[in-house]
A and B are shown apart, each in its own frame.
Chain A
Amino acid sequence: MKRNIILFFVILVSFILQTTLFQALSFGGIAPNLLMIVTVSYGFMFDKKYGMVVGFISGLLMDVFYGEVLGFYALIYLYIGAANGTFHAIFFQDDIKLPLVLIAVSDFIYSIVCYVLLFLLRGRFDFQYYLTNIIVPEIVYTMFVTVFLYPCILLLNRTDEDTERGDHTVV
């Protein structure tokens, strides 16, 4: 229960910061994708189911406020959350390499799907431009933010997880 309340606030705060603060801190019009960080982190920190639910809620938030079609982002985030849930088996708390790699790969896949469905199908063929000007900067910025945001998410969920495992010695 406590974990669910924390989860709700983490998603809400990420969405609010992503649309306000990080839009102001954007470099060349590129803002980091905080909801992706949250979705991926929850996916492999807990399990598939958590990843799915978090992804679905995050995507639905984006759909309601900025989506053309309701359910579009929700579907993408849902599958990204589910896919990251399969990496729960190799998750260790103090390892930041795995989250970095997973978030980068997930963000790349998300961007490619967005490009193909929202741009390529409308006849915008200059993939190289979008790759170098939107996709790669977004991944780099998102990874940079991950370094600071991921420990926070970890810290918020640590006590809960440890008592569940009966494992208090984990740093």
Chain B
Amino acid sequence: MSPVIKRKKRNFSIPSKYLLLLLTCVCVGLMSLTFFTDYSAMPLNKLLGYIIVPFQEGVSRVGAWISVRVDELGELRIVLEENQELRKQIDELTAKNTQLQQSQYELNNLRELYKLDEQYSGYDKVGARIIARDSGNWFHAFTIDKGTEDGLTIDMNVIAGGGLVGRIIDIGPNWAKVNAIINDDSNVSGMVLASSDIMMVRGSLQLMDEGVIGFEQLIDSKGLVQVGDKVVTSNISDKYLPSILIGYISEISQDSNNITKSGKITPAVDFEHLEEVLVITETKQQVAD
């Protein structure tokens, strides 16, 4: 009895070259599946979401707690020094405040003109916490702790601190993957608020270190666009809602073709220290309907 079982067991193993061939075929099959169909690993997404996401949430929550405690200790001394300085500043600022109240009147008029404020608060938003980041070093997408169960879908825009962070590109029941606009494979159609000129905002791994995003294909024949101008998402994007703040132009130069301009934008969001984000629960397609 036992030799038979043993032999069976031995015969069961596949030679490694066939296993390699088999797994290679599986990989190629999966790749062609994602290329040629809309299939986006939904069953796998669901299964793995339940296994891995709870752990990621736990670990990042513990990590956040520790880093907050460490920061608190270090900051206590700085805070005391700052307190004295701040008292001085209060006096200065009270004087300035009166001046600013005048400017506020002007600002209100301008806001009405662009209806920026209204559009922002008009969207429904859901708060989410970042629980994990891209496992490789080439791209910097991140995972948030809300998914289809919380009413999110692919292509929803993500904002933080008043500026655009990115959009959801992949989703599971309790997690969603967000592609940041600073990412190397991200393109956003932007618009200079002052002159309504359209441009292409392209993320770049090289510029990420400097904390800026590149832009190109800006047609500005009158030369009105200047450093410091506000850049918002444009109307012609099919993924991003219009008039969400991207950042401020920090560098601008004429391209060698003498028609378009390119340069750099300082984003409104601090991508380095991003922990919590807001997801706008409307997609561009819904708004259009």
Contacts and interface: CB of A to CB of B under 8 A. Distances in A.
A22 B82 CA distance: 32
A134 B209 CA distance: 11
Chain A, interface residues (CB within 8 Å), range: 35 or more
B86 interface: no
B29 interface: yes
Interface in A23-75: 23-24, 28-31, 33, 35, 47-49, 52-53, 56, 59-66, 68-72, 74-75
Interface string B7-51: 000000110100110011011111101110000110011001001
Q: Is the interface of A mostly helix, strand, loop or mixed?
A: helix
B24 A114 contact: no
Given A23-B132, A31-B137, A66-B136, A56 B23 contact: yes
Given A69-B34, A126-B206, A138-B137, A16 B52 contact: yes
B288 to A, nearest CB: 27
A21 interface: yes
Interface of B: 13-14, 16, 19-20, 23-24, 26-31, 33-35, 40-41, 44-45, 48, 51-52, 55-56, 59-60, 63, 67, 131-141, 143, 170, 177, 184-185, 205-206, 208-209
17 contacts: A16-B52, A16-B132, A19-B134, A19-B135, A20-B132, A20-B133, A21-B59, A24-B63, A31-B133, A47-B16, A49-B16, A62-B135, A64-B44, A65-B177, A66-B141, A71-B28, A122-B185
Given A52-B16, A64-B41, A64-B45, A69 B35 contact: yes
A18 interface: yes
A82 B16 CA distance: 9
A78 B141 CA distance: 24
Contacts of B170: 65
A155 B90 CA distance: 61
A85 B135 CA distance: 24
Contacts of B131: 20
A87 interface: no
B27 A66 contact: no
